[in-house]
Amino acid sequence: MNPATRRAAPAPAGWVNSLGLAFSAVTWVVAQPLYGRISDGPGLRALIPSVLTVHILPTVGVFVLDRAIARADRRGAWLRSYRTVLIAAALVSLLRMVQAEYFPNAPELSVGRASRSAVMFAAVAASAGTALVAYRFVQWLFVFLAPLLLLSTVHFAYQEGVAVGAAPAPVPQVRLARATPATGPVFILILDALGRDVLLKNGEIDGSRFPALKSLAARGVWFSNATSNYPDTCHSIPSMLTGEWIFPENRDCVGEARAPGTPDLLVALSQQYRLSLYEEYMDHCFPGAFRCRGVSYLVRAYPHRALGRYFLPGFRPASLKSLLGADAFHAYTLVLFEKFLADVRAGRGRGYAYYFHSQVSHQPYVFTESGGSHRSPYVLFYGDRGDRPGHDARAQENYERQAMFADRLLARFLRKLRQEGVLNTATIIVTSDHGPTVTEPVDAGGGTEARRLFSAHVPLLIVSPTVRPGVLQVDYQHIDFLPTVLDVLGVRLERPVQGVSVFAPARPTRRKAFVWGDRRWYAVDPASGIWRPSEEPARRD
């Protein structure tokens, strides 16, 4: 090769620029979307593998590829194209961060598929245009910000890996008036948005469609008059775990919701059992109180699914479903169930409790009864909207199929208990936080607003050596969940709660209450099953 035409080796500044650009791009495209969802202080031992996997190794890969292209590309056109794509991807991620922080409802289930696609296309186009027009400026900005992003990463690692462990938050405690824990393991299964009505045929659980629930009901007590008090998880679950009314000032529930207050049921269980929690939505983990397989754990264990959920919130290419999950909303649903099932061991019998909150029965209804995916567009309920005639009837079919899949998972769980030899000694509680978002207006006459609120009807099934099998028609509402569960387990809080155990000898005379619409309370007419606007329940003094 002619020395005059030999290409000079990259200058040191070129290596520095490549490294800075790679680190900034990976930080915004991969690392930051994940770091923002890790908040449980896992410690360095759990955090370092995540930082290496989602930050350091991708940075090295992007850097090596950048330098390889720089060496091979004499004119620099390929290098510029590569860096433009890299910058555009980082800008798209930054726009997604802004949207998630300030406009969280934009890509969620309420937005049509075409609208979501248009918004995402516009974001990609805007980012690509900026990367092309202001290429040099944005490139230098990325390089300049790299040291600051490095310091931010070090601070994050110190805060979540060292500081939290060095000064852990105090573990919450509740005072117990009575504690004689049940003899076998305890399982609390909350199947999100599973309504009672879909399970029934002629007023009983349909064994042909839901054989696992039917067989379990034959061994326990089935509550035929169980209702929730809220149509959304972020209010229903806190009320269930505290035994108190929640008076929401804002009904928006977006993203991984943090439960208000202290979940006294979980805290009480953690004081009597070795508690394991499995959760893909709510955030009520307390490091040191119990083992938590929650949102932070899922992000660390399955970062590819977390990124798929982050960047593809509204749809999922068929080729990626096996890798990322059937749908963005169900990114963790199946892997969390498998983790829960794997943790059930015969050695974890007496003295162990499990709390499992699954989204398997929640919309979008993308699962078939066998757990596969279908291509039907009818995956949501639209309620009273008149522009989609017949839509909800088709969505009901897919909802039923997905509910049958939930029953299939329940059957696997029961087989596992039988294999481990703990089925006959276990306490198993199966319920839902609320039913599907289905409502039907009713002409009650006189201009009075009235509705049939199918979202209020929930299943409740309790199997325990301490409970006599049968069917109870007693008025159960989810505010009664905490005292009912603790009563079954032989535990009672010292402080009074607004809910009352369903097995209490003296039950209160009260209205069934449910929040619907714009934070309005409804009460049901027992004779007709119609809900009408009502006063809110009494607040605690």
Structural domain spans, the chain: 12-166, 176-288+327-511
**Which residue do the tokens 């505290």 mark?**
242
**Which residue do the tokens 């007496």 mark?**
350
What Rg value do the Cα atoms of the chain yield, rounded? 26
Q: Are 67 and 15 in contact (CB under 8 A)?
A: yes
Which tokens is 20 given? Answer: 């800075």
Q: How far is Cα 36 from Cα 13, in angstroms, rounded to an integer?
A: 32
Which tokens is 496 given? Answer: 């009074």
pLDDT at 541: 60
Helices (H), 103-184: 113-133, 135-158, 164-166
Position 294, amino acid? G
Residue 275 three-state SS: strand
Q: Extract the residue ranges of the chain whose pLDDT is less than 70.
A: 1-13, 40, 102-129, 131-132, 163-173, 176-182, 249-262, 286-289, 312-327, 346-350, 383-389, 440-448, 518, 541
Half-sphere exposure of 371 (CA within 13 A, CB side): 12
Q: Are 307 and 295 in contact (CB under 8 A)?
A: no
pLDDT at 112: 47
Q: pLDDT tens for residues 283-314? A: 777 666 678 898 888 888 888 888 877 776 55
Q: How far is Cα 508 from Cα 485, in angstroms, rounded to an integer?
A: 18
Q: Are 452 and 529 in contact (CB under 8 A)?
A: yes
Which tokens is 255 given? Answer: 């993203």
pLDDT at 229: 94
Q: How far is Cα 93 from Cα 87, in angstroms, rounded to an integer?
A: 10
Q: How far is Cα 92 from Cα 104, in angstroms, rounded to an integer?
A: 16
pLDDT at 536: 85
Q: Are 521 and 533 in contact (CB under 8 A)?
A: yes
Which tokens is 213 given? Answer: 């629930």
Strand partners, 430: 189, 461
Q: How far is Cα 100 from Cα 110, in angstroms, rounded to an integer?
A: 15
Beta-sheet pairing, 470-472 with 221-223: parallel
Position 239, amino acid? S
pLDDT at 77: 87
Name, in order, each residue with C-beta under 8 angstroms of 98's C-beta and a sequence gap of 6 or more: none
N-to-C CA span, the chain: 89
Q: Are 260 and 239 in contact (CB under 8 A)?
A: no
Q: Among candidates 429, 404, 361, 395, which has minimal Cα distance to 208?
A: 404
Q: Are 276 and 352 in contact (CB under 8 A)?
A: yes
Q: pLDDT tens for residues 18-68? A: 999 999 999 989 998 888 888 767 777 888 888 999 999 999 999 999 999
Would you identify the CATH topology of the domain 176-288+327-511? Alkaline Phosphatase, subunit A (3.40.720)
Give the chain's length: 541
Q: For 328-364, give the secondary structure using H, E and C.
A: CCCCCHHHHHHHHHHHCCCCCCCCEEEEEEECCCCCC
> How many helices (H) does the chain have, and how many strands (E)?
17, 19
**Could you give the angle at which helices 113-133 and 77-102 cross, rounded to 10 degrees?**
130
Q: How far is Cα 58 from Cα 66, in angstroms, rounded to an integer?
A: 12
Position 262, amino acid? T
Handedness of CA 247, 250, 252, 253 (dihedral sign): negative
Q: How far is Cα 443 from Cα 208, in angstroms, rounded to an integer?
A: 35
